[in-house]
């Protein structure tokens, strides 16, 4: 089932999401719906709050070098915690909740992630490159933060102006 994606400036996106405590069939159905919604919208990452569900869950499907997304590479990440972040890297980010805008954002280059899978099993992974960036972008959503919240004052002003104009043109 496709879920509606909420977009900026919807205040729900500022919510701090709650830990998942029940790893049941309802959670599994929700994660399946998140996956369908993300792929339908050409996304590579989606946090639960983007479909108005304030729980600490996110999904990722990072494309390969040819840009293809393999469903087998999907990561379902629940109650994540970053340890040992290292280095700095900058990447032009986009977000399904801020459609049409892309900005250079600085993130940690590498990190270790501890999380639970859909069954509540404790997992960990090492991330670099796009996976590391995507994890940090999606984890920001769990704390009510968007990539545009990282912008300098002047770049944020420019974004607000462009966003206002885009909304007017849509009407
Ligand atoms: C690097 C940077 C950011 C992330 C977070 C995940 N972001 C996305 O999945 C963004 C997807 C996106 C898709 C769009 O739709 C199409 O391209 C058809 C899109 O389009 C428009 O805004 C019009 C914008 C964003 C992970 C890794
Ligand atoms: Co996003």
Is the pLDDT at 140 greater than 80? The verdict is yes
Residue of 35, 40, 96, 129 with the most ligand 1 atoms within 8 Å of its CB, for mutation: 96
- Is residue 16 one of the residues assigned to a domain? yes
Range of the domain at 102: 11-170
Whether 132 is in the pocket of ligand 1, judged by its Cβ within 6 Å, is no
Q: Rounded to whole angstroms, how far apart are CA atoms 115 and 139?
A: 11
**β partners of residue 53:** none
DSSP structure string for 64-123: -TTSPPPGGG-EEEEEEEEEEEE--EEEEE--TTSTT--EEEEE-SEEEEEEE-TT--EE
Whether 63 is in the pocket of ligand 1, judged by its Cβ within 6 Å, is no
Whether 47 is in the pocket of ligand 1, judged by its Cβ within 6 Å, is no
CA of 97 to the centre of ligand 2 (A): 6
**Residue the block writes with tokens 């990282």:** 150
Whether 100 is in the pocket of ligand 1, judged by its Cβ within 6 Å, is yes
Is the pLDDT at 142 greater than 90? The verdict is yes
Per cent of the chain over pLDDT 70 is 100
What's the whole-model pTM score?
0.97
Per cent of the chain over pLDDT 90 is 97
- Which atom of ligand 1 lies at the shortest distance from residue 105's CA? 2
Asked about 138 being catalytic, the answer comes back as yes
- Is residue 4 one of the residues assigned to a domain? no
CA dihedral sign, ordered 123, 84, 57, 71: negative
Domain of 148, CATH number, reads: 3.90.45.10
Is the pLDDT at 59 greater than 80? The verdict is yes
CA of 160 to the centre of ligand 2 (A): 17
Catalytic annotation, pick one of 76, 93, 103, 138: 138
Q: Are 32 and 59 in contact (CB under 8 A)?
A: no
- Is residue 104 one of the residues assigned to a domain? yes
Q: What is the pLDDT of residues 17-53, one digit of tens each?
A: 999 999 999 999 999 999 999 999 999 999 999 999 9
- Using DSSP's 3-state secondary structure scheme, residue 130 falls into helix
65 falls in which pLDDT band (50, 70, 90)? very high
- Is residue 3 one of the residues assigned to a domain? no
- Is residue 116 one of the residues assigned to a domain? yes
pLDDT value at residue 42? 97
pLDDT value at residue 160? 97
Q: Rounded to whole angstroms, how far apart are CA atoms 13 and 96?
A: 12
Is the pLDDT at 15 greater than 90? The verdict is yes
Q: What share of the chain is helix, strand, coil (3-state, %, to 5)?
A: 35, 25, 35
- Is residue 56 one of the residues assigned to a domain? yes
pLDDT value at residue 67? 95
pLDDT value at residue 12? 98
- Is residue 139 one of the residues assigned to a domain? yes
- Which atom of ligand 1 lies at the shortest distance from residue 45's CA? 6
How many domains, in total, are found in the chain? 1
For the chain, give the mean pLDDT. 97
Q: How many CB atoms lie within 10 A of CB 165?
A: 10
- Is residue 63 one of the residues assigned to a domain? yes
Whether 134 is in the pocket of ligand 1, judged by its Cβ within 6 Å, is yes
Is the pLDDT at 171 greater than 90? The verdict is no
170 falls in which pLDDT band (50, 70, 90)? confident
């Amino acid at each position: 089932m496709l879920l509606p994606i909420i977009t900026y400036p919807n205040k729900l996106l500022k919510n701090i999401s709650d830990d998942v405590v029940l790893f049941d069939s309802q959670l599994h159905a929700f994660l399946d719906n998140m996956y369908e919604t993300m792929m339908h919208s050409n996304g590579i990452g989606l946090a639960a709050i983007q479909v108005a569900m304030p729980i600490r869950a996110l999904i990722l499907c990072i494309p390969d070098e040819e840009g293809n997304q393999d469903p087998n590479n999907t990561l379902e990440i629940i109650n994540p915690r970053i340890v040992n972040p290292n280095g700095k890297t900058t990447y032009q980010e986009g977000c399904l909740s801020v459609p049409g805008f892309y900005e250079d954002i600085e993130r940690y280059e590498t990190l270790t992630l501890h999380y639970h899978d859909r069954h509540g099993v404790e997992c960990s992974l090492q991330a670099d490159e796009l996976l590391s960036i995507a994890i940090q972008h999606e984890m920001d959503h769990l704390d009510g933060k968007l990539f545009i919240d990282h912008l300098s004052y002047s770049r944020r002003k420019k974004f607000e102006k462009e966003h206002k104009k885009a909304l007017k043109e849509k009407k």
